[in-house]
Chain A
Amino acid sequence: QQQVRQSPQSLTVWEGETAILNCSYEDSTFDYFPWYWQFPRESPALLIAIRPVSNKKEDGRFTIFFNKREKKLSLHITDSQPGDSATYFCAAVYQGGRALIFGTGTTVSVSP
């Protein structure tokens, strides 16, 4: 059973557009939601993260919107750049700090 789900599986946007990546989860005891990005032939690296006490977290062109009631979150990439082309993983951690559970990923391609 996939505890963290992502959609779409892949996404293509033009340079300058906003990319929207969706994530949903099952377990309400998750209390920390980082997003990791992974470039081809590289390992995942932390991009941005949010806790359920907030409904929004911004870092430059990257913004997480969080809806605790619906158990959904989304990552918005504004003014997308070709260098943003990567696979983005939504992840979750249970209260008490156990290991990260990763979603299935969304591969973003930004065309110049």
Chain B
Amino acid sequence: EAGVTQSPRYAVLQEGQAVSFWCDPISGHDTLYWYQQPRDQGPQLLVYFRDEAVIDNSQLPSDRFSAVRPKGTNSTLKIQSAKQGDTATYLCASSLSGGNERLFFGHGTKLSVL
């Protein structure tokens, strides 16, 4: 069974540039999460979906970040105008609904904003 797939693996930007991250969850997993993990810190939730619906985006910087999951499968996270403080690894995870179930993480996208 394929795991959670993310692309790209790495991204390097200048401040002000835009970037999109893509995630393909495990087949059949209805819940998809985007976490931001700064260096040497724990993952911090940005947004999560159940099917195509946003369940919680309260930690998503809405002025510059957006996330969609239009068909309840793949998802895209976009940063409109990157800042140096956005430098982090962006992790996508998926699970079956309920929230207590095991999260399966992708390898992440390591973003550097210069």
Q: Interface of chain B, helix or strand or loop or mixed?
A: loop
| Mask: chain B, 15-53; 1 = CB below 8 Å from A; 0 = not | 000000000000000000101000011111100100000
**Judging by beta carbons under 8 Å apart, are B45 and A46 in contact?**
no
Alpha-carbon gap, A31 to B91, bound state (A): 24
| Contact call B91/A102, Cβ cutoff below 8 A | no
Q: Which residues on B sit within 8 Å (CB–CB) of A43? A: 91, 105-108
Within 8 Å by CB of A46, from B48, B56, B102, lies B102
Nearest B residue to A105 via CB reads B42
The docked-state distance in angstroms from the alpha carbon of A104 to that of B42 is 5
Is the beta-carbon distance between B106 and A102 smaller than 8 angstroms? no
Residues facing A in B97-114 (CB within 8 A) are 97-100, 102-103, 105-108
**Shortest beta-carbon distance from B80 to chain A in Å:** 23
Closest chain-B Cβ to A25's Cβ sits at a distance in Å of 13
Chain A: residues with Cβ within 8 Å of the partner, total of: 22
Q: Interface size bucket, B side?
A: 20 to 34
- Asked if B43 and A102 make an inter-chain contact with CB atoms under 8 angstroms apart, the answer reads yes
Minimum CB–CB distance from A14 to chain B (whole Å) comes to 24
Cross-chain contact B105 with A45 (CB below 8 angstroms): yes
Least distance between B83 CB and chain A CB atoms (Å)? 22
Which parts of A86-109 form the interface with B (CB within 8 Å)?
Answer: 89, 93-94, 96-105
Known: A89-B43, A97-B99. 15 other contacts (CB 8 A): A32-B99, A32-B100, A42-B107, A43-B105, A43-B106, A44-B43, A44-B105, A46-B102, A46-B103, A96-B99, A99-B55, A99-B56, A100-B99, A102-B43, A104-B41
The interface of chain A, by Cβ under 8 A from chain B, is 31-32, 34, 36, 42-46, 89, 93-94, 96-105
